[in-house]
Structure 1
């Protein structure tokens, strides 16, 4: 099928529950390859349970697909047209209209995020993506760039630094490149760590960053279903991710009345998961950004998933009545922003904490709502411990408690179509020019080597040209006389 018929990208998906990582990866990839026919894979995404976080997985990818960019993370559950638990899920994107500019990874995302960022910046020339010549060529060819990031999620021993990493990446790219991503996770009962897949590596407590360049229509959308309760709080003492005081009182004195349960119970699991409440910060657009309460510390402080500053006004947030349709809203936003009429794939990173807080499993209905909207388009992704994307107001943010979507269309941008049409016309013109030059050369050869004399005269019978045969038949012109 030709591009004139609109096949600009192919998507392959596959999954496996095989207990051996290498065999699971092989099964998933072979299944994904069944959906590809025209193009070679451009990139491989992996979303997998923590038990598959071994070097056998990227090694298997390389054996089957060659040196292809690999990106992904461990999860609190996978999404492959339906929710899954404990699988290894693979997504292959194959398109000549999508290129991976670079893929970079580093360890210590939560332990020492500044060191991890220095490693990322030393590996990739992010500043080169901002140069005028490069940006001008992108615009001329109808292309644009976006970033995808995966970073370690919260564990009992460390809170995620996704917000700090995301903010640093945005600053390093002068806020010119939008980033989409999610925080790695792990399911209940798995070891308390999470990992990222990047290239041929699996990195525990890691960060993975990729920059994509594409002519395909693509859009991002993010939405959360939390609503504020009539309870305002003021952060009066804080240290990074740890709140020491609220409303001028030690946080341990405030929490029992705030959450309606004794502190002794709040040490069992994540505070927000147990209390079914989160904190929220009002944005400039009078909307709220959700900040989960993670764990209590031995120092009598409250850890939160995102840093707050002293003097910050907080609200208590609970899941609202619209929470079941959050994914649908985020997907709709992503499609609308890029005017995508023929979606090829929809990436959906959904906060795992929300489903725990709801006390009921809404995962099936959430994905079903999205699938009803996008039709046969594959819906892929995972249940995350933090999300990054483009919010309702158009700002690129890192948050929690949300669903973040990235839609790729099986259609090119208008600028890319114009560029390709112009390039096709230029190629046709070049071919016709060469044909014309060849015809002129043939005519010249025939004209000059004809066995009879030929002359070309204008309407006034002035001789304009004669062939070689005629010139040889005519006597030479008389010598020119001077003086």
Structure 2
């Protein structure tokens, strides 16, 4: 496997290194929405890789190596020695279509020798939970499904997806990775702590939460936010909710808010908020978040066969909420992951509105929020 990285500066793509005989099968593009709205950003990259699919999305921050950028564009071109890729895309108009769109995507990808499906989805008009449920319908349980939801900084207005064409809202892309020598590692970890009382979800519909303990959810949430309530929905990223099934051994999933509705006191989340589940507020500190990023990298490494000295690609998808908490120290979490990998591992990624990865222990793919999620790709 050979990898080439680029960054878009002064209206020009700059290659980090020059490779000869380089014929990549895939280019990943992650950029701020403002950068993607500059037509030259996509067009000039595509002109450099005319025969290669360029796939990606808008972000809440761009990761290249050990750096985190704002309002930039980064790209990575990948040439496999023994493996192949395919990609498919669908349009989505509302979150209610998420399950059906997941099923549609799962049927569009060839299944033979499929090892990993990387999902890059619109971040506003989707229910990540039901999207994943749909994807599972026709994808074998041994296939690792990872990915994330596009971002729009902390604006939560409109996200864009690149499906080998000019960026557009309302798209979901699935990238399939194939080959007998392909090795896929994954990891997902948080670093958030629960606090305050447990509250029961008493009224919800899919990913829209109306009531906790029989009281309007948004009003209750605002009492905890105090002055920060004026900055909703972005301020909610500082205090996500963890939800769990109180009748089982469920360890819980973190959910963050995508939108609020003052008219009916509801909150829309990136994934389902099932009635009867227990919800609890969460908060974070700097040390725990960085340790969570390290844990994610450690787990990803364990999935790769030992003594693999070839080149590897680590795709980092972290949550915009983590970035808001870490502030000027955000780069420390990507530095922490890089230190866990060997010197032949290249990092690229973005800050998202939701992360997709198998759960620790069960291996079942889930939507996560407020996590650092890593997909580690290598050829044995």
Is the shorter-chain TM-score for this pair beyond 0.5, marking a shared fold? yes
Counterpart in the other structure of 1:216:
182
Counterpart in the other structure of 1:77:
61
Report the structure, 1 or 2, having the larger helix content. 1
Equivalent in 221, 226, 242 of residue 255 of structure 1: 221
Displacement after TM superposition at 1:282 (Å): 3.0
Give the RMSD, CA atoms, in angstroms: 2.6
Counterpart in the other structure of 1:101:
86
1:132-186 Cα distance to aligned partner (Å, 9 max, x none):
xx4xxx4xxxxx52101111114xxx5x422221221122325343211011112
Aligned residue runs from structure 1 range 116-265, under 5 A: 116-117=101-102, 120=105, 125-126=108-109, 128-129=110-111, 134=112, 138=113, 144-154=114-124, 160-188=126-154, 192-214=157-179, 215-257=181-223, 259=224, 261=226
Displacement after TM superposition at 1:87 (Å): 1.3
Displacement after TM superposition at 1:110 (Å): 4.2
Establish whether residue 344 from structure 1 lines up as the match of residue 308 from structure 2.
no
Equivalent in 14, 36, 48 of residue 6 of structure 2: 14
Establish whether residue 289 from structure 1 lines up as the match of residue 219 from structure 2.
no
Q: How many residues align?
A: 369
Unaligned runs of 5+ in 1: 1-8, 139-143, 413-483
CA distance, structure 1, for counterparts of residue 100 and residue 373 of structure 2: 27
**Secondary structure of 1:372's match?**
helix
Equivalent in 300, 304, 307 of residue 334 of structure 1: 300
Contact residue 39 and residue 96 of structure 1 kept, 8 A: no
Q: Structure 1 pair 188/306, CA: closer, same or farther in 2 (3 Å)?
A: closer
Higher RCO structure, 1 or 2 (CA under 8 Å, sep 6+): 2
Unaligned runs of 5+ in 2: none
Q: Structure 1 pair 112/125, CA: closer, same or farther in 2 (3 Å)?
A: closer
Contact residue 353 and residue 369 of structure 2 kept, 8 A: yes
Displacement after TM superposition at 1:306 (Å): 1.6
Contact residue 218 and residue 340 of structure 1 kept, 8 A: no
**Secondary structure of 1:355's match?**
helix
**Secondary structure of 1:397's match?**
strand
TM-score, normalised with respect to structure 2: 0.87
Displacement after TM superposition at 1:366 (Å): 0.6
CA distance, structure 2, for counterparts of residue 275 and residue 387 of structure 1: 14
1:301-355 Cα distance to aligned partner (Å, 9 max, x none):
2222222222111122222552122221111111111235435221111111123
CA distance, structure 2, for counterparts of residue 63 and residue 253 of structure 1: 51
CA distance, structure 2, for counterparts of residue 333 and residue 275 of structure 1: 25
Counterpart in the other structure of 2:31:
48
* Bigger mean CA deviation after superposition, 224-233 or 337-346: 337-346
TM-score, normalised with respect to structure 1: 0.70
Contact residue 237 and residue 257 of structure 2 kept, 8 A: no
